[in-house]
Each structure stands twice: as structure tokens, then as C-alpha cells.
């Protein structure tokens, strides 16, 4: 299959301003360009957490395998229920894993534990706490406490034999591992982990352990990027800080391209940047340099470079620590999931009441760092973390969500509803 170039894709997109590309246009552009890396491996269930399923898993069995009781109680024939109180004679007992094999006539019942196979002819269970009276020999049931069919789990109601239990592209979560185990399946076919090479550019950057000369700062971006990538299930190739000279940058891009599926750099893509990052990126492949209508994170480069017959997608993120995280979450993340072959639903947005006013100009997307909490009625409310400067990583560290102020949106008044995206959630 021939892969389209970025300019071919751009010619298909609606008119856009390259000096002020909207977030949604850039996201679309990336989506159209990126292809999945389809390399499959089989892993045991413990190793499958967070991995992307590479084929549908068809259930080989019914789960549950038999109709069984949902409660501790008494099983009987539902058609024996009458309008008046009725006594049922206890003819046996069934435990989970040890069934009752005898017949059950109308007017008889079997003591059953949760998970016990339903005795033959029985279709209804009355929970023990709803029985009017019980002794070793019989129970008495008042009318109306259960209906025929109540408290019976049906064979195959969880998973039916021959039907897909999990779909290709699913990112396996704890429930999915349990679900596979419930089918007796001990291995899962998954996509190979995506390899992502990262490096930082900038002569002012020092690595931890190095002396901090005047005007220098520690490189933090590699660590936030590492964390975000690991959470996404990627394998990280950390290439450190790369010096701002042609040879070092070219060598780093070649090595990254040959060892990874994608490359994420930070720094050096701003307008007027006195370094060679952009020049080298453009030299090695099909790369575009965007000015995005967003804050934080205006400059970004994106494309694909090639080296010795291998190619890799490239994300040149801005250098500011908050801008790195925002551009990663709203551009790179989706693209990486697409490369991983993951079924990728849009990030779930939640509406929350803004606790204060927020100034915002229409015509760009803004991502404010927020703290989401519950008001006295338990409804979601959000406030911005202190200073929102794009270099202030503390604003990210204190936040538990991002407030998204959309492209066309203007200023927000206290009490208005805003969209937020949460950093963490159960999965």
C-alpha cells in the first residue's frame, strides 16, 4: 500500500492557515497520516495488562456453563407459586461445584448456595432472607416475594460460546484479564509494544547528576515523556539530551529512526530557534512545522523520517514542560494509540462548573490545569491551579484534570459549565 505524504493529505483537508492551524485540523491531519504497526505476539495473561488485543477472542465455552443460583436460598419450580402462602418440602442441598442430582417435584425445593447448578426442573430461587419460615424439612413462602425465573443466572448470560468475548483493538484492562481467565484462556494475542525513542534538545539542558552551570536547567521533559509513554504501554528508548549541532542531531535522528516506531523530541521547534533541530528533521524526511492555534504549545513538528530502509513517525514537541505534556496528550497520544492498533474512543469529557472566571480569546484552544472536586451537593466543580505559565510544571503536578476551552469559546464566567478531561480514572 502506498502511504500518502503530508502534502497529499493537506491538499485533501479543508482550507487552513499554516500559521494558525486549529487543534482539530492538526489532529485530523495526524489521523490521516498515521498507520498502525501490525506485529503480533502472544503473551500470558499476567503480561497482557495494558496491551492491545490483535484479534477478536471468540468464547470457546458458555459462561456460566449451566443455569445457576444467584443467591443463597431455595430453588423450586416457578409454576408452583400460588396466590396464597405455600409450604415447600426440602428434598436436598446443592453447593457451588456440587450439584443436586435428584428430581424436584412441584411443592418441593432444594436448598441452594450461590453459584450452585440449578437442580433439574427448577427455574426460580427465593433468597433465604425472604422466606417466611424455614426448618430442616420445609420452608413457607408468602405470595409475591419472588416471580418465576427470579435469582437464576442463565447459562451463557455472561459470555456465549462461539460469540466474540473481546474485540480486536481492545486495550486489556483488569476485567478483561479476568474475562479471558473465565474462558480458560491463558494467553492473549497482542500487538508488539510500540517502541518510542525520546530525546531533548537545547544547549541549556543538563541531565540529573551533572553540574548546573549558570543559565542551565535540568532536563525534565524526558521524565514526563517517559511516564506518559509507559502509562500508554510503550517501550521507551531514552536517548538523553542531544547537543544543538548538526552532526549530533542528525546522528540522533538516524539512531532513533532505526531503533523505534516513533520519535518524540522536545525543544528546538520554535520560530527563531537558534538551533538545527528543524533543519535536520526536514532533511531526513517528510516533516511539517506547525504553528498551532492553542495554548500552551504553539509550535510543533510532525511527520515521518527514514534511515537505512527504516522509518519512524516524528513528533517534535515544544520545549516548555507544560506544552510538552499538553501536545503529547492531545496529539501524540492519539497517534500512538493508532499506531498500536488500539480502538481509540475520544477522550471522555466531563462537564463541571467553573469556580471562577477564566479569560479566553476565541480563535484558539486553551488547556488550563484544573482541580476537579465535588461541591456541597456532590456536583462536579473545577478551579484552575495557580499560575498557568507554560513553563510551570507545578501547575500540572497540582492539577487532577485539564480544562479545555475550545477554539471558538470566549471567556468563562464563574458558574459556567466547562469541559474537563481527567488525568486519572479507574480502568
Q: Which residues bind Mg ion (CB under 5 A)?
A: 202, 267-268, 319
Per the structure block, which three cell numbers stand in for 220? Answer: 525534565
Nearer CB in complex with Mg ion: 285/319 = 319
Residues contacting residue 300 through CB under 8 Å, at least 6 positions apart: 26, 269, 289, 290, 292, 315, 316, 317, 318, 327, 331
How many helices (DSSP H) and strands (DSSP E) are in the chain? 9, 26
Which of 219, 244, 250, 366 lies at the binding interface for ligand AMP (CB under 6 A)?
219
Nearer CB in complex with Mg ion: 319/341 = 319
Residue whose C-alpha cell reads 497517534 in the numeric block: 335
Give the pairing of strands 235-242 and 195-201. parallel
Q: How far is the CB of 394 from Mg ion (least distance, A)?
A: 21
CB 344 within 8 A of CB 338: yes
Which of 105, 217, 251, 343 lies at the binding interface for ligand AMP (CB under 6 A)?
217
Residues 265-284 that bind ligand AMP (CB under 6 A): 266-268, 270, 273
- Check residue 318 for interaction with ligand AMP (CB under 6 A): yes
Nearer CB in complex with Mg ion: 274/427 = 274
Which of 62, 124, 221, 354 lies at the binding interface for ligand AMP (CB under 6 A)?
221
Helix (H) / strand (E) containing 366: strand 365-374
Give the pairing of strands 365-374 and 401-405. antiparallel
Q: Using CB distances below 5 to 8 A depending on partner kind, what does residue 205 bind out of Mg ion, ligand AMP, none? A: ligand AMP
Q: How far is the CB of 323 from ligand AMP (least distance, A)?
A: 8
Segment interacting with ligand AMP, rule: CB under 6 A, options 31-39, 198-206, 278-286, 375-383:
198-206
Nearer CB in complex with ligand AMP: 278/364 = 278
Q: How many residues bind ligand AMP (CB under 6 A)?
A: 18
Q: What angle in degrees, to the nearest 10, is found between the helix axes of 277-284 and 246-259?
A: 50
Which residues in this chain contact ligand AMP in the complex, by CB under 6 A?
200, 202, 204-205, 217, 219-221, 266-268, 270, 273, 318-321, 391
Amino acid at each position: 500500500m502506498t502511504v500518502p505524504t503530508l502534502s497529499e493529505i493537506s491538499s485533501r483537508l479543508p482550507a487552513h492557515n499554516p500559521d494558525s492551524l486549529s487543534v482539530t485540523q492538526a489532529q485530523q491531519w495526524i489521523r490521516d497520516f498515521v498507520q498502525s504497526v501490525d506485529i503480533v505476539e502472544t503473551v500470558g495473561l499476567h503480561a497482557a495488562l495494558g496491551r492491545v488485543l490483535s484479534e477478536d477472542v471468540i468464547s470457546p465455552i458458555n459462561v456460566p456453563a449451566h443455569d445457576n443460583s444467584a443467591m443463597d436460598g431455595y430453588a423450586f419450580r416457578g409454576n408452583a407459586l400460588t396466590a396464597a402462602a405455600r409450604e415447600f418440602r426440602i428434598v436436598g442441598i446443592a453447593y457451588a461445584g456440587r450439584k443436586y442430582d435428584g428430581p424436584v417435584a412441584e411443592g418441593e425445593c432444594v436448598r441452594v448456595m450461590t453459584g450452585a447448578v440449578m437442580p433439574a426442573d427448577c427455574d426460580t430461587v427465593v433468597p433465604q432472607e425472604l422466606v417466611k419460615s424455614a426448618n430442616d424439612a420445609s420452608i413457607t413462602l408468602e405470595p409475591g416475594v419472588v416471580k418465576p425465573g427470579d435469582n437464576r443466572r442463565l447459562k451463557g448470560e455472561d459470555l456465549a460460546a462461539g460469540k466474540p468475548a473481546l474485540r480486536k483493538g481492545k486495550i486489556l484492562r483488569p476485567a478483561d484479564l479476568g474475562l479471558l481467565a473465565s474462558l480458560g484462556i491463558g494467553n492473549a494475542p497482542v500487538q508488539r509494544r510500540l517502541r518510542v525513542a525520546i530525546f531533548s534538545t537545547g544547549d541549556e539542558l543538563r541531565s540529573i547528576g551533572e553540574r548546573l552551570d549558570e543559565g542551565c536547567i535540568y532536563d525534565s521533559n524526558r521524565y514526563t515523556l517517559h511516564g506518559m509513554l509507559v502509562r500508554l504501554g510503550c517501550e521507551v528508548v531514552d536517548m538523553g539530551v542531544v547537543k544543538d549541532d548538526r552532526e549530533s542531531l542528525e546522528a540522533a535522528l538516524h539512531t532513533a529512526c532505526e531503533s523505534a516506531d516513533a520519535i518524540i523530541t522536545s525543544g528546538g521547534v520554535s520560530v527563531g530557534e537558534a538551533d538545527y533541530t528543524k533543519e535536520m528533521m526536514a532533511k531526513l524526511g517528510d516533516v511539517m512545522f506547525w504553528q498551532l492555534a492553542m495554548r500552551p504549545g504553539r509550535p510543533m513538528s510532525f511527520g515521518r523520517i527514514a534511515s537505512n530502509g527504516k522509518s519512524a513517525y516524528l513528533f517534535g514537541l515544544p520545549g516548555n514542560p507544560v506544552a510538552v505534556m499538553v501536545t503529547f496528550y492531545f496529539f501524540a497520544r492519539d497517534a500512538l494509540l493508532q499506531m498500536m492498533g488500539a480502538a481509540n474512543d475520544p477522550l471522555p469529557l466531563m462537564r463541571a462548573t467553573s469556580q471562577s472566571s477564566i479569560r479566553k480569546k476565541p480563535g484558539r484552544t486553551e488547556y488550563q490545569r484544573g482541580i476537579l472536586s465535588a461541591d456541597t451537593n456532590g456536583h462536579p466543580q473545577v478551579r484552575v491551579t495557580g499560575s498557568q505559565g507554560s513553563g510551570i510544571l507545578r501547575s500540572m503536578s497540582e492539577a487532577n484534570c485539564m480544562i479545555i476551552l475550545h477554539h471558538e469559546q470566549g471567556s468563562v464566567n464563574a458558574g459556567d459549565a466547562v469541559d474537563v478531561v481527567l488525568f486519572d480514572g479507574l480502568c
